[in-house]
Structures are given as structure tokens and as C-alpha cells.
Structure 1
Amino acid sequence: MKAFLLLVFVLCASGCQIPWYASNASGIVERIANSKTSDQLLAELPQEAPHRKALEDLPEVLEFARHKGLNVGGAYQRIDVMPDPVSFIVIAAQPESLTLHQWDFPIVGLAPYKGYRFLKHAQREAQALQSQGLISSVYPVEAFSSLGWFPEALPGAILSLSEQRRVRIIFHELVHRTIFFPGKADLNESLANYLGDEFAKEWIEKRYGRESVQFVDLHDEIQDQERLRQRVLRLKEQWSAPTLGDDLEQFQEELRSEAWMSQMGREQSVRIWTLPMILMLQVYDSGAWPWKEVWEKCQGDVDVLQWLIQREFLGTP
């Protein structure tokens, strides 16, 4: 908690956007204060509760992450039981240049998204950006990482997800907690997606085997993610500012006609895709960097991975 209070002080002392920092900081404090331990929740839940197994498995998931070299620390020792989303993210894009809008934050540097505790505040920011000629979108966030500054609680809604989806999210956020480069959102998110998926595959295979329904479902989700990625790459090869409306309409139609393998893929096909949402997909694109080759070169050592990224991608010793 001392580290968290120090972070809040540093952010607020910067003198910019103090109401935004204060609102988000108070929201995190409230969620931690109202969170419960897994044991507390297990004592309250009936034996037939659908997410009871997820709670029982959580310590083993975290131990697996520690074994893989992730900085678990005190993360996810408690469960956030508040029903509303963790926060709401605002993203925006320039329709003329077809590029994402960037915010500049103390400590974390440039980022193509901004989080708000309350939906109305996120919507107000989105409207302000629209008045400047940008295209903006708002969406809820299912999880976040403190980057190791304080012991974040696991959002309770994650417990109701399928096991493969749940562990992908947990490993993704723990990668952020372990490796983070300020101002490099695309690198950070791409790496977290790649390692999160790799660790999820290893976890599911270890528990159920490669022929299991769980492993097949995870494989299908990742394959559908790659299909969506290829669609986005083709879209970006042909789109232009004057034809953007028609380009996005054709993109939506192609998604609807695709033979998706997973429920996640089918859900993606019926979403309304805006320019900033499509550009954000590339921020999270695990295929945008040669992670497979880099990870093999590191022989699965997270510390070596961080050093190698600094040396080969960022040019620092």
C-alpha cells in the first residue's frame, strides 16, 4: 500500500489532470478495500457455484506463473467483488492520417488509451475528442495491471470466463507486471499477448492434454485471433481517408461471412468496428514482433527476454 500511495503522490504532484488521477486512484482504493480473499469467497459460495473451481484453481495458476518467471508478488491474492467494470477506456484516431491519438502520462509515457473510473467521465472525454475532429470510442476494461506498484485484486467477473480465457487474461496482466517499457504500448501489449497465450497453452496442455476440449477451444480462439489479424492487415493495405466509410463497411461484411471456429471469433464478427478499435488491434498484435524467435533464443527465461528486448529492440544496455 505504501508503494501505491507513493505512486498516487507522484501522479498528482505532476500538476496535470489532477481530477482524473484522483478519481482513478480513489476507485482503486475502494476496490481494494471492498475486495475479499479467495478463502472468504469460497466459504460464502455454495458447492455448486459455477466459478467455485476458478477460485480453487487460482493459487495453482499463480504458482505456475511464478515458476515461469513472472512477477506475481501480491497480485490476485484478493478478489474484486464490485460488479461494475474495473474502468472505462477511451481511444481515439485521426481520420485524415488514420493514426491513433496518443496521451502522454507521467511514468508510463505515451499511450494510445486513457482509463476512467466512471463511464460518464470517459464519455465526456470521448465527446471532447470528437469536437476536435477525432473519431473516438469507449469500452469497459475487464482487467488491469499496476505494473507491480501495488497488489491488485482480480476482477470477479473474470472468474465466470472459460478457463482458457481466464488464464490468458491473468498471464497477460502478469507479463505487464514483470516487463514494461514506458512509452512503448505496442511492444508491451504485443509481448503480453504473445507470452500470455504461450503460458495459457502450456497450462491447459499440462492439465488436460493436447487432445482435450479445453486445448482445442484455446487453439481455436488463437487461430481466430490470427484470422482477424490477417483481415485487419488486408484492410490497412487498401484503405484511405476518403474511402474509410466504405472500407469499414466492407470489412464488417467480411467478418460476418467468415467461418469462425470459436465463440470469441463469432463475437468479434458482430461487433461494430470503428477506426480507433481497428488500430488498437495492431497495438495488441502479437505477430507484429518476432516474439517466437526471441522467446526461443531466451530459452524461456523472462529475465533474459527483458535484457534482449532492451538490447536489440530499444538500443539500451
Structure 2
Amino acid sequence: MKAFFLLVFVLCASGCQIPWYASNASGIVERIANSKTSDQLLAELPQEAPHRKALEDLPEVLEFARDKGLNVGGAYQRIDVMPDPVSFIVIAAQPESLTLHQWDFPIVGLAPYKGYRFLKHAQREAQALQSQGLISCVYPVEAFSSLGWFPEALPGAILSLSEPRRVRIIFHELVHRTIFFPGKADLNESLANYLGDEFAKEWIEKRYGRASVQFVDLHDEIQDQERLRQRVLRLKEQWSAPTLQDDLEQFQEELRSETWMSQMGREQSVRIWTLPMILMLQVYDSGAWPWKEVWEKCQGDVDVLQWLIQREFLGTP
């Protein structure tokens, strides 16, 4: 019922964006309607299925998240079995100011990305932005959060990921479900990345130990993420609008020559990096805020963390 009233409010408040909201809302409804429970999928899967273990582990992952204070609610009790991406995200940047374009949404406020159910709609939006002189791109997303408004299904593609990558995504999205500040995308994403990684490290260490292959893989992913972050920070110190193309080409070459420890790092090194994609890395940068110190001050209490962020970062009681 809460989700229904939110949808009505959003559709009424969105004006000319009603077709976009209606398309995304219908897509979410369709995905939930076609989803299956873990037990249903386990009954259908052969014993040797590669992601069977991921399904069997899911209840324990969610229980661990609850114990950490995350608002799991009814999330991920079902699996989204539709093969296409959950959504297609449009991002864009101003080449003169080297800043991200922002969209203004009801409820969630300003955000530097906009999601579409269908690729052709996302591409149409990207082309419209390009006609205005912006640099834009479209990419598929592997997961999303309803921010606690309805019980989202877990995208089935996540089950095929390595365990470190899988639990990082799940914890990241559950952080969004628990703590969200409208119009503060950089804070929200940075926090979700930091806590998602912290909870993933705890989960993997508790389950397998620090000497395990799983923990080493997770450590390598996080280290490669930090290495990429440092490269981006150096790029931003020296780039300028007139030299942007040369700066990006040099950045790309540096990534290709880097020695990466994880599969994720190697994938990042061969990616074609555009201005909006690099700026989006900064939105998700877990090192952009002093989360380690803040989390220690909260002694691992998520409720205290939310209160402390409101008081110290947002200036609200």
C-alpha cells in the first residue's frame, strides 16, 4: 500500500515526465510478477548448476544484513528471472565546466543519472542531451534499490557473479534501503559503497577466513578500486576543457599499462572512459567522505550513523 501511494504521488507530481515514470513503474511490476522464490528456483535447478550455491546462501546473507542493522524488509525474497537488464541508465556531462548534468525528481531530488526500462528510450534521451552540447552515454545496471518502498526482487544475473562481487552489490543496495538523503547522490552512493565493502569483508572473513581465496579476491577488487580512484584524482588535477580529449586518451593508456590484481580491475582497464563515466566514479567514491572515522565513532550502529550524518554533514538535527 505504501508503494501504491508513492507511485500515485510521483505520477501526479511528474508533469511531462509521466510516460517515463509509467514505463519504469510498469517494468518493476512486470519483473516482480514474473519473479520466483529461491525455493522454486532451487527445485528447478540441477545440482551442478553454477549459481545454485548463491541461491542457497542468500537467506544467510540477508540475515547477516539484518544483524548489521540494515532494513532488509521483504527485499530479495524473490528472484527476478527476466534476462534483460534491470534498467538502462543515462548520464551526461558539460564539457566546458567538466561537471555532471543533474535531473530533478520528486521525492529523491537531484540525481546525476536517469533510468529507463527500455534501451531505445535511454538512447533517445542521450541523443537529446547530445543535441544540447552535452557528452552523454548509456549503460545497463545490474541492481537497484526501491529505498524501502516495496519488496524488490534480486536480479538473477547477480547470482552468477563471484561471491565477493555479489555480496558487495547486495549490501550496497540494502544500505540505500536503510539510509537515503534526497538530493545527495554523492553522499548516498559513497556511503553505500563504503558500508557495502565493510559488510562484505566481514561476511567473507566470517565465512571463509582471511586466508581464503574468497577474501583475497575481495581484497584485490577493493585494492584495484582504490588504484582506479587514485588515477581519477590525478586526472582531475590536470585536466581542462581545451585538453580534455588528450587527457582522456592519456588516462586510458595509463589504465591499460597498469598491473591489475582482479578481474574487475582488468575489465576497467579496457573500458572506453568518457567524461560522464569518470565523473560518476567520483559520485560513487567511498573515499570522498570520512566514513571510516564516522563508522568507528558510531561503533557499528546504523541508526547512530544516520543521525550523525544528518547532524555533522547535513546540518539537520
Q: TM-score, normalised by structure 2?
A: 0.99
Give the Å deviation of 1:198: 0.1
CA contact (8 A) 2:86 2:155 kept: yes
Sort the Cα spacing of 1:5 and 1:27 in 2 relative to 1 into closer, same or farther, 3 A.
farther
Correspondence list, 1:78-227, <5 A: 78-227=78-227
CA contact (8 A) 2:2 2:149 kept: no
User: CA offsets per residue over residues 105-139 of structure 1, 9 Å max, x none?
Assistant: 00000000000000000000000000000000100
Unaligned runs of 5+ in 2: none
Cα distance between partner residues in 2 of 1:300 and 1:238: 38
Give the Å deviation of 1:10: 3.0
Cα distance between partner residues in 2 of 1:72 and 1:44: 26
Cα distance between partner residues in 2 of 1:164 and 1:231: 23
Sort the Cα spacing of 1:8 and 1:165 in 2 relative to 1 into closer, same or farther, 3 A.
farther
Sort the Cα spacing of 1:175 and 1:4 in 2 relative to 1 into closer, same or farther, 3 A.
farther
Which deviates more from structure 2 when the two are superposed, residues 216-225 or residues 1-10? 1-10
User: CA offsets per residue over residues 13-36 of structure 1, 9 Å max, x none?
Assistant: 432300000000000000000000
- The share of aligned pairs that are identical, in percent, is 98
Correspondence list, 1:210-289, <5 A: 210-289=210-289
Q: SS at 1:17's partner residue?
A: helix
Q: Match for residue 294 of structure 1? A: 294
The count of residues paired between Structure 1 and Structure 2 equals: 317
User: CA offsets per residue over residues 36-67 of structure 1, 9 Å max, x none?
Assistant: 00000001001110000000000000000000
CA contact (8 A) 1:65 1:171 kept: yes
Unaligned runs of 5+ in 1: none
Q: SS at 2:16's partner residue?
A: coil
User: CA offsets per residue over residues 196-217 of structure 1, 9 Å max, x none?
Assistant: 0000000000000000000000
User: CA offsets per residue over residues 187-241 of structure 1, 9 Å max, x none?
Assistant: 0000000000000000000000000000000000000000000000000000000
Cα distance between partner residues in 2 of 1:12 and 1:192: 30
CA contact (8 A) 2:13 2:106 kept: no
CA contact (8 A) 1:8 1:21 kept: no
Q: SS at 1:242's partner residue?
A: coil
CA contact (8 A) 2:76 2:153 kept: yes
Give the Å deviation of 1:3: 2.1
CA contact (8 A) 1:92 1:134 kept: yes
Give the Å deviation of 1:2: 4.7
CA contact (8 A) 1:4 1:150 kept: no
Which deviates more from structure 2 when the two are superposed, residues 189-198 or residues 8-17? 8-17
CA contact (8 A) 1:12 1:22 kept: no
Give the Å deviation of 1:8: 4.2
Cα distance between partner residues in 2 of 1:92 and 1:287: 23
CA contact (8 A) 1:11 1:106 kept: no
CA contact (8 A) 1:80 1:153 kept: yes
Sort the Cα spacing of 1:221 and 1:8 in 2 relative to 1 into closer, same or farther, 3 A.
farther
Q: SS at 1:115's partner residue?
A: strand
Q: SS at 2:182's partner residue?
A: coil
Cα distance between partner residues in 2 of 1:148 and 1:239: 39
Q: SS at 2:176's partner residue?
A: helix
CA contact (8 A) 1:135 1:276 kept: yes
Sort the Cα spacing of 1:28 and 1:12 in 2 relative to 1 into closer, same or farther, 3 A.
farther
Q: TM-score, normalised by structure 1?
A: 0.99
Give the Å deviation of 1:5: 5.1
CA contact (8 A) 1:71 1:178 kept: yes
Sort the Cα spacing of 1:116 and 1:271 in 2 relative to 1 into closer, same or farther, 3 A.
same
Q: Match for residue 22 of structure 2? A: 22
Cα distance between partner residues in 2 of 1:211 and 1:5: 49
Query: Once superposed, what is the RMSD of the aligned Cα atoms?
Result: 0.9
CA contact (8 A) 1:8 1:25 kept: no
Cα distance between partner residues in 2 of 1:306 and 1:11: 29
Cα distance between partner residues in 2 of 1:28 and 1:5: 15
CA contact (8 A) 1:107 1:182 kept: yes
Give the Å deviation of 1:154: 0.1
Q: SS at 1:247's partner residue?
A: helix
Cα distance between partner residues in 2 of 1:170 and 1:178: 12
CA contact (8 A) 1:110 1:185 kept: yes
CA contact (8 A) 2:93 2:275 kept: yes
Cα distance between partner residues in 2 of 1:190 and 1:18: 30
CA contact (8 A) 1:12 1:21 kept: no
Sort the Cα spacing of 1:12 and 1:142 in 2 relative to 1 into closer, same or farther, 3 A.
farther
User: CA offsets per residue over residues 81-115 of structure 1, 9 Å max, x none?
Assistant: 00000000000000000000000000000000000
Cα distance between partner residues in 1 of 2:60 and 2:100: 38
Give the Å deviation of 1:6: 3.4
